[in-house]
Amino acid sequence: MSYGSHRVLDGLSIAVPAGSITALLGGNGAGKSTTLSLLLGFVRPNDGRVTVCGVDPGVEPDHARGRTAYLPENVALYDHLTAVENASYLLALSGNRPSRAAILDAFAAAGLQERAWDARLSGFSKGMRQKVAIAVAWLREVPVLLLDEPTSGLDPQATADFNALLHAIRVRNTAVLMVTHDLLSAVDVADRIGFLERGRIVEEVAATGTERFDIRALRARFGERARAA
């Protein structure tokens, strides 16, 4: 995948199975967001193949996006609407009409405080916005979830809340691909971590069975790469 003559992804091979969370780490400009753009059909690869639920998102973007929830780095929500109104409106755009109770359940699961549910978003912190966004993604009940640096700028508690909901989404057999710089968050939440460098995955580790990652071993193994992430 190149932008003009600038080759960004080169020989990248990645598959994200249903019911799993893959974290994609890599430095600035490594091509993480571009990978998500390919999966969303926003850009087309110069060569190679991209499929989402069996279809090429570049050829059938509506089919692919209808099955994909995407949290961009900066979530676009409406400041003049309340949290509930944002969720209702955004979900209506994708053809979902959840009840108020279902929306409140999702907010609670995302860790959004009750006093924020009917408040306008103009006073929300970044973490509160992320919680609204992940609640909306949860309510869409789609098989694919793409996240671009979802925990950047969140405090440890907000990150933990976020990761907990991600786990709940994964249990529903969703394929989750999370792009991040946050090795700790990746270790906490992912089943697999891939390090993107020079346009491809240069290292890949998996959490085996009930064993989580050993952060010290990871740092030692990935050295500068993990520290930079």
Ligand X SMILES: Nc1ncnc2c1ncn2[C@@H]1O[C@H](COP(=O)(O)OP(=O)(O)OP(=O)(O)O)[C@@H](O)[C@H]1O
Q: Quick check: helix, strand or coil at residue 215? A: helix
**Of 90 and 147, which CB lies nearer to ligand X in the complex structure?**
147
33 binds Mg ion (CB under 5 A): yes
**Of 26 and 150, which CB lies nearer to ligand X in the complex structure?**
26
Q: How far is the CB of 28 from ligand X (least distance, A)?
A: 3
**Would you tell me the crossing angle of helices 126-140 and 156-171 to the nearest 10 degrees?**
0
How far lies 23's CA from each of 46, 55, 177, in Å?
Answer: 24, 22, 6
Integer Cα distance of 25 and 195 in angstroms: 5
- The sign of the torsion formed by the CA atoms of 139, 140, 141, 146 equals negative
Q: How far is the CB of 2 from ligand X (least distance, A)?
A: 9
223 binds ligand X (CB under 6 A): no
Q: How far is the CB of 8 from ligand X (least distance, A)?
A: 4
Q: Which does 31 bind (CB under 5 to 8 A by kind): ligand X, Mg ion, none?
A: ligand X
Q: How far is the CB of 145 from Mg ion (least distance, A)?
A: 17
**Of 20 and 33, which CB lies nearer to ligand X in the complex structure?**
33
**Of 17 and 29, which CB lies nearer to ligand X in the complex structure?**
29
183 binds ligand X (CB under 6 A): no
Q: Please report the DSSP string for 5-63 in residue order.
A: TEE--SS------TTEEEEEE--TTSSHHHHHHHHHTSS--SSS---BTTB-TTT-HHH
Q: Which does 8 bind (CB under 5 to 8 A by kind): ligand X, Mg ion, none?
A: ligand X
48 binds ligand X (CB under 6 A): no
Which residues 18-47 are close enough to bind ligand X by CB under 6 A? 26, 28-34
Rg (CA), the chain: 17
Going by C-alpha positions, the residue among 70, 12, 14, 19 that lies closest to residue 41 is 70
Q: How far is the CB of 11 from ligand X (least distance, A)?
A: 15
- The binding site for ligand X (CB under 6 A) comprises 3, 6, 8, 26, 28-34
